[in-house]
Structure 1
Amino acid sequence: MVLSFLFVHRLFCSTTMGATLNLVYAVTIILFTISSTSHGYDPLDPFGKITIKWDLLLSSPGHHTVQVKLENMQEYRHIDKPGWKLSWHWESKQVIWDMRGAETTEQGNCSAFASSGTLPHCCLRRPTIVDLLPGSPFNSQVSNCCRGGVLTSMSQDHTNHVSVFHMTIGSFPDDSGEFTMPSNFDIGVPGYSCDNATSVAPTKYSTDKGRRKTQALATWEAVCVYSQFRSSQTPKCCVSLSAFYYRNIVPCPTCSCGCSSSHCVKPGEMPPYLEQKHDPEEEVPPVVECTKHMCPIHIHWHVKVNYREYWRVKITATNLNTMKNYTDWNLVVLHPNLKSVEQVFSFNYKSLTPYHNGINDTGMFWGVKFYNDVLLQAGKIGNVQTELLLKKDMGNFSFREGWAFPRRILFNGDECVMPSPDDYPRLPGYASSSSSSAASSFVTIVFCFLLLLFV
């Protein structure tokens, strides 16, 4: 009888422990997936990157013509104002004689060319290049320039995700004049890191309405990737939840974006920073309204209505940053029912399927041009909202266990802090039973572990 008892307990415990190990394994995979965005790889946009392509168009000793193209190949991350600031390190004594479509922020010491009659555009060993502003003189422009360094994402605006400029490169009088590719690239946007350029197939250009193709003498390409951890050591947004069947609102977790309240602004107060002058070429640090979560952006997901074949969700994004308007903002949401979106009100929507494997659980939302594409700074009108109508998948749909709430939400490509699943709104009468079930499961696991140790 004792052997039978031990056998039954071993079988029960092994089954429970096996399920537990599977659960631990699944949680580990999920945590790895979530944290991967902070290390330069995003599973929701696995091919996302910014490329810097150098095309050597003409070359002779001491005189080289180069075209540089920055291309944002990310689905939902974009470069907002004040824009990119491309810099690199010259490996030899090279100078920039002339530029079209961009300019350097400093000229540097060009005294070595004092006797030449004309000074180079830039003589710095590490120049910093910025895009020209809209409305620049026509003779200074090239195609795809002059947007102030702004690069849109691929999904939001496929026509403005590229910046181009031309350079004429020379060398100091005591240099051989041979062209050498620079190194140590940086686009000057927090969170991005770039590798050194590598040689790739020469770029081809179409002329005569596509009847003839020419090509660059040589082409190099550097790749830049984004890391949320590099961008900021604290999150930038958080999520709160509510539902028609739950009386309370589940707030953003406390201190989601930090706990310091020394620089926050109480509702209704005017931050003193607004009265100060700021460099338009530098992004001003956020000054947020005082909240328990201290996040610049607050996302709220509300399960609004339940129909027979459909259900309705309201999403609200609120700007609590008193120092910034978010232009061309976007939201990325991960939820299994997004494969059955029937209608989206007042927002643009695109389904994201990066792996083309039939899984359609991720969607991107952004504002309508000239209507709500700018999320204004904190205040009465500092929010945007939409409603979704989703068709129920009767095989999976449920209001239980928090199924109706998103798995992940990203604002402008940054992961938002979600409430703990234990705090999600639950159906009436279901919360207590689920809590007791979780507690009993934990006790069972501990009992089985101890039994396996001592039996």
Structure 2
Amino acid sequence: MELCFRSLFRVSISTILLFFLVSCFSFTSTDAYDALDPNGNITIKWDVISWTPDGYVAVVTIFNFQQYRHIQAPGWTLGWTWAKKEVIWTMMGGQTTEQGDCSRFKGNIPHCCKKDPTVVDLLPGTPYNQQIANCCKGGVINSWAQDPSNAASSFQISVGAAGTTNKTVRVPKNFTLKAPGPGYTCGPAKIVKPTKFVTQDGRRVTQAMMTWNVTCTYSQFLAQKTPTCCVSLSSFYNDTIVPCPTCTCGCQNNITQPGSCVDPDSPYLASVVSDRGKTNSLAPLVQCTSHMCPIRVHWHVKLNYKDYWRVKVTITNFNYRMNYTQWNLVVQHPNFDNLTQLFSFNYKPLNPYQNINDTAMLWGVKFYNDLLMQAGPLGNVQSELLFRKDKSTFTFEKGWAFPRRIYFNGDNCVMPPPDAYPYLPNAGLRKNISLLMLSITLLLSVAFHFACV
């Protein structure tokens, strides 16, 4: 019997360990999945448009099919490894960061001879004869929902020592995409049906000689180990302001890490701001707060009308190193199907669950508040949302008026714990009355018992 019990115990431990390992692998594989944008990805399309004596000319296009996650300055960086001994003779609309060792060539020197080249976009203002369509935006690519006309970036590349037919050309390997930092994981290149192009006059359709695609997906965990934004809450019916949780994005540690944050009253503040342009680091330098986040989103339930209710949303930038251009906010709340009016923000419904309209994308009005300035007096944008009440679901109780989830620039913001949400005073009063009545009842019962005895 004891032997049987020991065997059963070992099997149970083995089963638990196996389940744990499988769970870990499962979490890793689904880490890039975004429930609010399940089909979002960046697709790199490589179109061979003509053959050359020793290779081919190709147009490489980076399509951002993510609904609300864009590539901001300083822009994308694309890398790969050649399958053979290819070189890049010339480029338009982009350039490699290093030329590599081209000493074996005499006379005509290639643009790049590295086995693993790294390409970046050209800057705005590049001479016209070095441009192609969708190039030269400093690597900035807008999100698909926010600005589809600027959701792609392209460059042209002339490749040598590559083969001159579909059978001799080999697709590159090990694609990497930084946008502008880590976070994207790219799959292998897959040969697909050649892309078809329509000429400018619209009367003729041409076709690429060969096409392959690479799909890259985003993981917030790979991009940064700590959160980048948080949410605070308040309401007209409760004086409590629920702040971002303490140490959400980090803790003040000026003893061991001096300069990790900046006090707005510090005499060194002006020098920090003036040195911002000289600092090439992407790491945020934030204002000293309890949460230490670069971005805070505040949701305030402002007013209650007979048939409507109003919310004020404020986004505050605590980062002294970053102006957020083309920022966006994604909010999930069950009442967005009844959004009536929006002030000073653009709005687009996102329907990740088909017929359920509970997710909205908000962004600034062009030339008005589409730029979220760095930390300081101008480092915030705000708007108000007017909702119509749905009699079947509307309530201020149990935190229903607050959002379920908020993203800023595609990163999930940390919400306060639900038990800290501002509560209705009436609900709290009913709880206190209930406890009081229970206490009185118990006291009366005890008194009656002793009186009878």
Which range, TM-score by smaller chain? 0.7 to 0.9
2:2 pairs with 1:45:
no
Q: 2:122 aligns with which of 114, 124, 132?
A: 132
Which AA in structure 1 matches 2:183?
A: G
**1:360 paired residue number:** 357
Task: Please tell me whether the aligned partners of residues 333 and 404 of structure 2 are also in contact (alpha carbons under 8 angstroms).
Answer: yes
Q: 1:323 aligns with which of 321, 344, 363?
A: 321
Q: 1:153 aligns with which of 134, 139, 143?
A: 143
2:146 pairs with 1:179:
no
Q: 2:77 aligns with which of 77, 81, 85?
A: 85
Distance 1:248 1:172, change over 3 A: closer
Q: Aligned partners of 2:403, 2:433: CA distance in 1, in Å?
A: 24
Q: Aligned partners of 1:170, 1:206: CA distance in 2, in Å?
A: 27
Q: 2:389 aligns with which of 392, 398, 401?
A: 392
Q: Aligned partners of 1:107, 1:202: CA distance in 2, in Å?
A: 30
Q: Aligned partners of 1:208, 1:155: CA distance in 2, in Å?
A: 26
Distance 1:370 1:36, change over 3 A: farther
Q: Aligned partners of 1:54, 1:84: CA distance in 2, in Å?
A: 16
User: TM-score, normalized by length of structure 1?
Assistant: 0.83
2:56 is paired with a residue whose SS is strand
**1:300 Cα offset (Å):** 0.4
Q: Aligned partners of 1:286, 1:211: CA distance in 2, in Å?
A: 51
1:110 is paired with a residue whose SS is coil
**1:334 Cα offset (Å):** 0.3
Q: 2:305 aligns with which of 281, 304, 307?
A: 307
2:426 pairs with 1:409:
no
Q: Aligned partners of 2:47, 2:200: CA distance in 1, in Å?
A: 20
Give ranges in structure 2 of 5+ residues lacking alignment.
Answer: 1-23, 255-259, 436-453
Distance 1:390 1:120, change over 3 A: same
**2:262 paired residue number:** 265
Task: Please tell me whether the aligned partners of residues 47 and 209 of structure 2 are also in contact (alpha carbons under 8 angstroms).
Answer: yes
1:160-175 → structure 2 map (5 Å cutoff)? 160-171=150-161
**1:327 Cα offset (Å):** 0.6
RMSD of aligned alpha carbons = 2.4
1:336 is paired with a residue whose SS is coil
Q: Aligned partners of 1:273, 1:353: CA distance in 2, in Å?
A: 43
Task: Please tell me whether the aligned partners of residues 344 and 364 of structure 2 are also in contact (alpha carbons under 8 angstroms).
Answer: yes
Task: Please tell me whether the aligned partners of residues 276 and 320 of structure 2 are also in contact (alpha carbons under 8 angstroms).
Answer: no
Q: Aligned partners of 1:311, 1:208: CA distance in 2, in Å?
A: 51
Task: Please tell me whether the aligned partners of residues 310 and 392 of structure 1 are also in contact (alpha carbons under 8 angstroms).
Answer: yes
Deviations 1:327-351 (A, max 9, x none): 1111000000011110000000111
Task: Please tell me whether the aligned partners of residues 252 and 288 of structure 2 are also in contact (alpha carbons under 8 angstroms).
Answer: no
1:33-432 → structure 2 map (5 Å cutoff)? 39-60=31-52, 62-113=54-105, 115=106, 117-171=107-161, 178-189=168-179, 190-207=182-199, 209-262=201-254, 263-269=260-266, 270-271=268-269, 273-276=272-275, 282-356=280-354, 358-431=355-428
Deviations 1:393-443 (A, max 9, x none): 0100000000000000110010111011101011104236569999xxxxx
Task: Please tell me whether the aligned partners of residues 38 and 227 of structure 1 are also in contact (alpha carbons under 8 angstroms).
Answer: no
Task: Please tell me whether the aligned partners of residues 38 and 229 of structure 1 are also in contact (alpha carbons under 8 angstroms).
Answer: no
User: TM-score, normalized by length of structure 2?
Assistant: 0.84
Q: Aligned partners of 1:155, 1:181: CA distance in 2, in Å?
A: 31
Distance 1:208 1:149, change over 3 A: closer
Q: Aligned partners of 1:148, 1:424: CA distance in 2, in Å?
A: 42
**1:169 Cα offset (Å):** 0.5
Distance 1:360 1:107, change over 3 A: same
**1:354 Cα offset (Å):** 2.7
My pick for the range that moved more, 41-50 or 283-292, is 283-292
Query: Alignment length, in residue pairs?
Result: 398
2:337 is paired with a residue whose SS is helix
Task: Please tell me whether the aligned partners of residues 38 and 228 of structure 1 are also in contact (alpha carbons under 8 angstroms).
Answer: no
Q: Aligned partners of 2:116, 2:278: CA distance in 1, in Å?
A: 22
Which AA in structure 1 matches 2:351?
A: T
Distance 1:435 1:126, change over 3 A: farther
My pick for the range that moved more, 392-401 or 60-69, is 60-69
**1:237 Cα offset (Å):** 0.5
**1:284 Cα offset (Å):** 2.4
Identity over aligned residues, as a percent? Answer: 54
List structure 1 segments (4+ residues) > 2 angstroms apart after TM superposition.
35-38, 208-211, 268-280, 431-438
Task: Please tell me whether the aligned partners of residues 145 and 163 of structure 1 are also in contact (alpha carbons under 8 angstroms).
Answer: yes
Q: Aligned partners of 1:413, 1:137: CA distance in 2, in Å?
A: 33
My pick for the range that moved more, 392-401 or 427-436, is 427-436
Q: Aligned partners of 1:267, 1:388: CA distance in 2, in Å?
A: 31
